[in-house]
Amino acid sequence: MQRIRSFVSSQVDVSRSLAQALQDRSINPYPYLKPFIEKAANVREPPISPTPHSVVYTRGSMRLLRYASPRRRFRTPILFVYSLINRWYILDFLPGRSLIEYLTRQGYDVYAIDWGVAGQDEQNLTWSELLGGHLRSAVRWTLRVSGSDDLTLYGYCMGGTMALAYTSLYPEGVRNLVVQATPVDFTKGGIYSLWTQQRHFDVDSLVDAYGNVPTYVLESGFFMAGPVQRITKWLDVCRQIDDPGFVTTFLALERWGSDAVPFPGEVYRQYIRDCYQQNLFCQNRMEVGGERVDLGNIRCPVLNIIAEQDNIAPPAMSEPLPDLVGTKDCETMRFPVGHIGLSASSKSPVKVWPRISAWMGQRSQVLEAGE
């Protein structure tokens, strides 16, 4: 009886909160609905980003985070490069559901770039400054702190696109390259490729007007890609309101999803123009700082990770990569999960991460005894 009352009460509260969110013209209902779901399920704030870390370098709004392994086995560190749209901590999601936590326990010295919140100083940031300045400095500091001569560069989503471009331009120090759910062929992005076509989307007017692209502009695109599902999922969670684990994971994902940050304006302008509108990236015609990004220059081992149920970077966007890079050691791994599931699914610690870790381990330098 209590479960029925809780379910009915939650449904009513959710409906009212959704109505209020619509009245306020809010794109994201999370702030409105979170209190009611927590109360009905009797759960607390999800412990997001639980793995201990330290800040080892800063540059503008960017921070380089180190997650030291409790039992380091590999000299070769891992540097994560995440997208500029959302926050890095989906890689360090929840206890037991954290890719970073898993890798530190496997003996890797792990680093991650937190791009921070873009402000006035970042709105004129270019791809050349982003890769040759910020990312190159993060690579150098990772090598300095870890005491290694090279590293594994691990890019996720747009971060993978940046990691590919970086390795093409600055291959020194990159021992291995892992790209996860990474756009390469931008004609295959589904609804996002359609919406960003030049006849539909004037990126120059947007950037000229705002400088950095506001979060609500970015959120509106994701919302309109699946408007019904983004509302009904809050009603669906009420049906599992008696499952604290499910509710906690759901709220943690919604919290992360609502934590979007402004997109640096000039980086966004070139990203949309060169990648989505002209598809220069996979044609080896994109230029950064006057240099051509030629994926054929990438000669280190490459791991291409694809989420088969990805609707943000569909598999077709990532599949051409092996034919574009200049290495024969390029492996593609496919998993039956979605874009976020690669880093947050309950299946990942058992079915996804061990295979990725094994691939990196075979190509990483092991610490000698006593080091």
351 vs 298: CA distance, rounded Å: 28
The verdict on whether 339 is a catalytic residue reads yes
Please answer whether residues 331 and 304 qualify as being in contact, where contact means their C-beta atoms are separated by less than 8 angstroms: yes
Three-point CA angle 349, 93, 78, nearest 5°: 70
Considering 109, 150, 300, 339, which one is annotated as catalytic? 339
**Closest C-alpha among 158, 308, 311, 341 to residue 229:** 311
Token digits of residue 238:
């009420």
**Closest C-alpha among 5, 138, 3, 175 to residue 60:** 138
Considering 13, 185, 274, 310, which one is annotated as catalytic? 310
**Closest C-alpha among 155, 190, 177 to residue 343:** 155
**Closest C-alpha among 201, 192, 217, 184 to residue 311:** 192
**Closest C-alpha among 340, 250, 261, 344 to residue 34:** 250
72 vs 146: CA distance, rounded Å: 11
Please answer whether residues 274 and 281 qualify as being in contact, where contact means their C-beta atoms are separated by less than 8 angstroms: yes
CB atoms within 10 A of CB 128: 17
- Nearest-10 crossing angle of helices 30-41, 2-23: 170
99 vs 105: CA distance, rounded Å: 10
SS3 98: strand
Considering 134, 157, 238, 330, which one is annotated as catalytic? 157
The verdict on whether 300 is a catalytic residue reads no
CB atoms within 10 A of CB 13: 18
| Residues noted as catalytic | 157, 310, 339
